[in-house]
Amino acid sequence: MYYINKFLALIARNVKKVIVFAVVLVGIALCTIMAYDFAYDFVSGDPNEAYDPNGETVMLTIPAGATSKEIAALLEEKGIVSSARHFSWRAKLLGKENDFKFGTYAFVKGMPEEMIMDMLRDGSKQESVRITIPEGWTIDQIAEYLQEKEICLKEDFLAACEDTSYDFDYYTKKMKKGTAGRRHMLEGYLFPDTYDVIPEDGAVSVVKRLLRQFEVEWSEDDLERIDELGLTMDKVVIMASVIEKEAKLDEERPMMAAVLYNRMEQDMPWQLNSTVLYALGIESGGEDNLTYDDLEIDSGYNTYKYAGYPIGPICNPGYSSLQAVLYPADTDAIYFVLKEDGSGSHFFTNDYDEFLAAADGNYPDDDDYYESDEDY
């Protein structure tokens, strides 16, 4: 009993020290757990684990002698990784920060960091080819171009454009509504731009890249505007493709959109040669050689024979034409004629006699037809 009392008295005299010691032990334990979790997140919690392998390709040259920190900074600068510090920490914790090889690499924005590290350590360099798809090109023109650039065979690209399995929202909606009679299922949805592509990845990869860029171009405001106008994405793309083929000057695209809207409101067919040329399979030129028989071709693309929207897009339109459909000019014009002065500009009017005069090269004063208003 003596020794028990003595032990209790000892504890009572040192109770504060015991509490402090216990608190320190708990603190150390918590810090250890937090440090472990922190390290584990860096090692296993790659923020880009679910990435799109068909996303934007970025070419990056790693200079000889660059340190891992310098390489991480280059990766962040190019948008390949979100954080240079995170990349450096993970590389160190995974033991992969050494032996990064210099050279030029083809990375995809948002690809997993560990994959990037392995590419840098293995020296997995790929030669990319830069391609430029002009606004207004058709799928057939793109296919010819890609074959000339030795990216893929023409027939492989055309086949890839008929694939219905792509993870592409607008394409899926289009398919559900049916698109029978169109020349190419994806016409209008391959966004014209400049891309770095890897030939070894094949035609499907190129199609996915162009479809992904189409999705990127649309803002929430744009999508809300489509709903506000009571349109579908497909109708926007169809009208934009026609404007792309008809317009020469960006500032006239909203005017052309307004003319097409106005003609539909008055139950007038669009009556545009560009749609007939597409129906005939003529990619460019040939407009001066169209005959009256050509204008009677029985095709869903022929806007002389059928009123309203053509059955599908007639090319792959650019951003300006797409925006013109969303924000047409404020005008009552229902006709336009290309001027013969070589300027690329058109004469717009709502008067049929003025239209006939302009068609003969006589242009009345057209200043009143260029007022623009986004609140169409």
Contact 282, 275 (CB under 8 A): no
> Which of 96 and 4 is assigned the larger pLDDT?
96
Distance CA 176, CA 312 (A): 15
DSSP 55: S
pLDDT value for 29:
53
300-332 per-position pLDDT tens digit: 999 999 999 999 999 999 999 999 999 999 999
How sure is the predictor about 91, in pLDDT bands with cuts at 50, 70 and 90?
Answer: confident
Mean pLDDT of 345-362: 87
Q: Which of 280, 287, 278, 289 is nearest to 138 (CA)?
A: 278
| 171: pLDDT strictly greater than 70 | no
Cα separation of 46 and 265, whole Å? 54
More confident residue, 241 or 364: 241
Average pLDDT over every residue of 261-289: 87
Q: How high is the mean pLDDT of the chain?
A: 83
- Taking only the tens place, the pLDDT of each residue in 110-168 is 888 888 888 888 876 667 788 999 999 999 999 999 999 999 999 999 999 988 788 88
User: What is the model's pLDDT at position 175?
Assistant: 58
Rounded (10°) angle between helices 233-246 and 253-265: 120
Give dist(CA 43, CA 38) in Å, integer.
9
Dist. CA 311–CA 97, nearest whole Å: 56
- Give the C-alpha separation, 294 to 310, whole Å: 16
* The pLDDT of residue 373: 47
3-state helix, strand, coil in the chain (%, to 5): 50, 5, 40
Output the pLDDT for position 376. Answer: 46
Q: What percent of the chain has pLDDT over 70?
A: 78
Secondary structure class of 356 (helix, strand, coil): helix
Contact at 8 Å (CB) between 144 and 99? Answer: no
Residue 20 has pLDDT above 70, yes or no: no
CA angle centred on 167, ends 161 and 173, rounded to 5°: 80
pLDDT over threshold 60, residue 98: yes
* 64-68, 79-83, 368-372: the lowest-pLDDT one: 368-372
Mean pLDDT calculated for residue range 189-193: 96
DSSP state of 102: P
List the structure tokens of 170: 């607008």
**132 burial class (0-12, 13-18, 19+ CB within 10 angstroms)?**
exposed
Q: pLDDT higher for 42 or 126?
A: 126
**pLDDT on residue 289:** 73
- 285 vs 167, higher pLDDT: 167
Residues 6+ apart with CB under 8 A from 323: 222, 253
pLDDT in tens, 219-262: 999 999 999 999 999 999 999 999 999 999 999 999 999 999 99
pLDDT at 369: 47
> Is the pLDDT confidence value at 281 over 70?
yes
pLDDT for res 363: 78
Dist. CA 340–CA 281, nearest whole Å? 26
If you write DSSP's letter for every residue of 122-165 in order, what string do you get? Answer: HT-----EEEE--TT--HHHHHHHHHHTTSS-HHHHHHHTT---
